[in-house]
Chain A
Amino acid sequence: MTAGATRDGGEIEALVTDRYLESLLALGLEAPPRNSTAGSIVDRLQPQVRLASERLAREAPRYHPSFRFEERVALRLAEIAASMRVREAAGAEGTVVPIGLPHDGTADPDDLLFDGPLDDRPDRVRPLLIGGALTSAALSLAGAAFAVWWRTRPGTPMARAVRAVGRGRLA
């Protein structure tokens, strides 16, 4: 058997499984009539795949968070919505970035909106410019650059004289 034939066989099996899941999840757990299209799909399906599918469909509860959590987040969203309205009314530009959530490595909207496969997603923490304000990571970089400039700037004659006296005292 060639690699191409194996691949095609796998894709056909996957397609049959997909068709079966469509009917299983649409019909609930009722067995499709034998003479129906869904029934003919069952005949072509690998039995162990069918049994695993039925178990997962039967044992897949959807959970609901607590009422307290639901209302707390609803209130938080309402507060953010209100702040967005105020910003829009004031004609401000930039993105509203909520604060108060624990830091978990990224808050960059571009990272959260990434739409490719997860394996291709950059795994990094970037300095972030938010509505004209710098985050702490970027601030520390800016601070370091400012300190270097402050130490090396030519300055006024008086400042140069003061620094020369200071260097003389240290020596």
Chain B
Amino acid sequence: MARRAIWNTDQPEEASPPRITHLDRDRALVAAARIDPARFEALYRKYLAQVYSYAYYELGDHHDAEDATERTFVAALTSLHRFVERARPEDGQGASTFRVWLFRIARNVVADRQRARYRRPEEQLETAAALADGAADPAAQVARRDEASAAWRAIERLPGDRRRAIILRFVDEMSTSEIAGVLGRSEGAVRVLIHRALRSVARDLDEGSR
């Protein structure tokens, strides 16, 4: 996944800084959606599974993940005029700043959902009722167990940004620079977050196997 930036080398290096010729692979789709909002559908279809997966790993519930996914795309469509491409050379060829922007919205939407769960005790009761229903449905229990491997159950126990960084790295296959953009942190900080998260997971797996 080594990504390199493509530079326009038409001009001598000393005359002016090199110009980035292509960084955001979604540039054409975004431009089309800005002219005609109906064309946003192409971006929606392209990133639906990625956003949904992120929401599902974060929220652990298909219904909540659907709600967060819908909010994310609606917010992205209605705020598309505010999206500014901020690609940097180190983001490399094929890096999508639209994808970073979209996932930043998803991160905020999911965080709101998590805060709402914390704030509303009645919702916890609903969740408890849903869990009780699930307990009566062995098939649902088996499906849930199958979905969450031991490694991913260890991820669920990680604190906020460590967990998010791992999901974005392994599930959405983002580069370190993209994750840094989504989380609003430096690349160095993201590398350390992921390294520490992997060490925690390794410890959990080791203890689980004893």
Whether B70 contacts A73 by the Cβ 8 Å rule is: yes
Q: Mark B158-187, 1 if CB is under 8 A from A, else 0.
A: 001100001001111101100000011100
Whether A65 contacts B111 by the Cβ 8 Å rule is: no
A53 to B198, CA, bound (A): 7
A22 to B113, CA, bound (A): 31
Selecting from B10-18, B22-30, B71-79, B136-144, the interface stretch reads B71-79
Q: Count residues on chain A whose CB falls below 8 Å from chain B CBs.
A: 62
In the assembled complex, B157 has its CB within 8 A of some CB on chain A? no
* CB contact under 8 A between A117 and B192, given known A56-B170, A104-B116, A106-B112: no
Query: Contact check: which of B49, B70, B191 meets A18 at CB < 8 Å?
Result: B191
Whether A104 contacts B48 by the Cβ 8 Å rule is: no
**Interface majority SS (helix, strand, loop, mixed), chain A:** helix
In the assembled complex, B36 has its CB within 8 A of some CB on chain A? yes
A169 to B53, CA, bound (A): 68
Q: Count residues on chain B whose CB falls below 8 Å from chain A CBs.
A: 71
Q: Mark B115-158, 1 if CB is under 8 A from A, else 0.
A: 11001000000000000000000000000000101011001000
A131 to chain B, nearest CB (A): 11
A160 to B40, CA, bound (A): 60
Whether B191 contacts A22 by the Cβ 8 Å rule is: no
Whether A117 contacts B116 by the Cβ 8 Å rule is: no
Whether A118 contacts B161 by the Cβ 8 Å rule is: yes
Most buried by A among B48, B70, B169, B170: B170
A12 to chain B, nearest CB (A): 10
In the assembled complex, B95 has its CB within 8 A of some CB on chain A? no
Whether B152 contacts A60 by the Cβ 8 Å rule is: yes
**Chain A positions 85-104 with a Cβ under 8 Å from a chain B Cβ:** 85, 95-98, 101-102, 104
A73 to B47, CA, bound (A): 13
Q: Mark A70-87, 1 if CB is under 8 A from B, else 0.
A: 100110111011101100
B165 to chain A, nearest CB (A): 11
**Which A residues lie at the B interface, using CB under 8 A?**
10-11, 13-15, 17-18, 21-23, 25-26, 46, 48-49, 51-53, 55-57, 59-65, 69-70, 73-74, 76-78, 80-82, 84-85, 95-98, 101-102, 104-106, 109, 111-121, 123
Can you list 15 pairs linking A and B with CB atoms under 8 Å apart? Answer: A10-B195, A21-B169, A22-B175, A25-B169, A48-B202, A55-B151, A62-B50, A73-B73, A78-B41, A81-B36, A95-B79, A106-B112, A112-B79, A119-B160, A120-B184
